[in-house]
């Protein structure tokens, strides 16, 4: 049977927010034009596959600010989760297994993951 870990509630909350921020950033980047700056479209069939892009109007200042805000928050959360004091309680492969389990606790209430409520 797989080991369950007693993750602290702040670590679980940080990981959950990290998942949410990454999903929000990914959805935003999919909606935005392919180029930050306005660029003409192009077509290139000289490589191993044909690449085509339509003209890009670029991103607005608000869109650039939103992407930057989400990237900054993603960075803060990644640092918080990866340097959390909890990891010092585990050694070697146990730390790797626990980190992997934490990454897959998205949307699971703490009582089901062995964490504190």
49-75 pLDDT per residue, tens: 999 999 999 999 999 999 999 999 999
pLDDT at 2 over 80: no
68-100 pLDDT per residue, tens: 999 999 999 999 999 999 999 999 899 999 999
Residue 106 confidence class, pLDDT cut points 50, 70, 90: low
Rounded to an integer, the average pLDDT of 12-21 is 97
* Percent of the chain at pLDDT exceeding 70: 89
Backbone φ/ψ region at 33: left (φ over 0), alpha (ψ -120 to 50), beta: beta
Q: Note the pTM of the prediction, 2 decimals.
A: 0.81
User: Cα angle vertex 6, ends 95, 98, to 5°?
Assistant: 20
User: Cα angle vertex 23, ends 73, 117, to 5°?
Assistant: 75
């Amino acid at each position: 049977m797989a080991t369950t870990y007693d993750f602290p509630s702040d670590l679980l909350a940080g990981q959950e927010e990290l998942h949410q921020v990454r999903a929000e950033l990914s959805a935003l980047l999919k909606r935005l034009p392919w180029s930050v700056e306005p660029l003409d479209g192009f077509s290139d069939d000289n490589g191993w596959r044909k690449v085509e892009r339509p003209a890009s109007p670029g991103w607005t200042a608000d869109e650039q600010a939103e992407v930057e805000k989400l990237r900054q928050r993603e960075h803060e959360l990644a640092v918080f989760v990866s340097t959390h004091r909890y990891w010092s309680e585990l050694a070697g492969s146990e730390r790797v297994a626990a980190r992997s389990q934490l990454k897959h606790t998205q949307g699971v209430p703490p009582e089901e993951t062995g964490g504190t409520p």
